[in-house]
Structure 1
Amino acid sequence: MKPLKEFTIPFVGLKVGKHHFDYEIDNKFFEYFEYDDFNSSNLKVDVELEKKTTLLELHFEVSGTVNINCDVTNEPYNQPLNNEFDLVVKFGEEYNDENIDILIIPHGEYEINIQQYVYELIVLAMPTKRVHPGVEDGTLDSDILKKLEELSPKEKDIKEDQEEIDPRWNTLKKLLTDK
């Protein structure tokens, strides 16, 4: 996969201190990663790079909304996202990204590509169960919700099932209480 140019930061020409980078993320970014869970996305990523003499510190912040389908009703809705992540970039003999928040790059490198970190920051900010806010507060009017309500077992049916216990179980319960 060829890296996206706009996410490559040439740090060799930067002065020691803090530098800010802003990115607007839409679905074209996710098409690059072949990730199609989002109907649309409107995200802003702020990256603060602090260059020090021996290392780089990056602080990522993402905020915005993505339009996704509800897991219960399959209705699209806007899911707000907010997440942040810190990354330390050190210099070493060879490239090593085995540690989650420490990246080691060779001494001769002059730029860093952050597209994978931005992608993971956004995808990991998504909730595991995506539920439309209208489902939680009961304001969503959906055919799927009506069908689910129609097919769900009623409390009356559950109580009747519990009352109709096989008499053989009662005899077995007596064995436990006779001790």
Structure 2
Amino acid sequence: MATLCTPLNQICLQHVRLCHSQSSRKDAAVKRDRMNSDEPADAHLTHTDAQGRAAMVDVARKGATQRTATAGATVRLGPAAFRLLRDNGLAKGDALAVAQLAGIMASKQTSALIPLCHSLCLDHTSVSFELDEAQSAALVTATCRSTGRTGVEMEALTAVSVAALTVYDMCKAVSYDIIITDVKLLRKTGGKRDFHRHPG
């Protein structure tokens, strides 16, 4: 019996050491990544409670400040769809005007779409487009502004995403080979810290 237990104990010990070694390497990699990023040293998820369950953040003790956020997205259309979008020749009408309104409306519905987002009173939302002929693409930018206790990053990201999806919807009769890419936060101000995405 003893001869059977000894190898098993050794195997278990080796397994624990292997797991510990892998965990240590992962921790070191995470620390290294954080050193090379702009994340604060005490970064942690705020939408989970002590047991790891989903939870809405209580912002009651935060002071109200002016918050802004700008997000961007790229819609790669292909030459034919791009030309019709540029020349306002799409069968459904003025795609950019419709997409602009869709993005603004979406920013106001963010808390209904993202479960743990707070319902915010937005001071302003703007959605704009830049047409990039070289890439046959529409570059979408959305900026949201609010005075409150929590940021408007999700509102800006929702606005730019829905605006991009609306461009897709307006152009899909011409081509399904349309790619929405590079949806990202470009900058934010207000709250604990500001953020500005480095070019490239």
TM-score w.r.t. length of structure 1: 0.31
TM-score w.r.t. length of structure 2: 0.28
Tell which has more relative contact order, 1 or 2 (C-alpha 8 A, sep 6+).
Answer: 2
- Flag the structure with higher strand content: 1
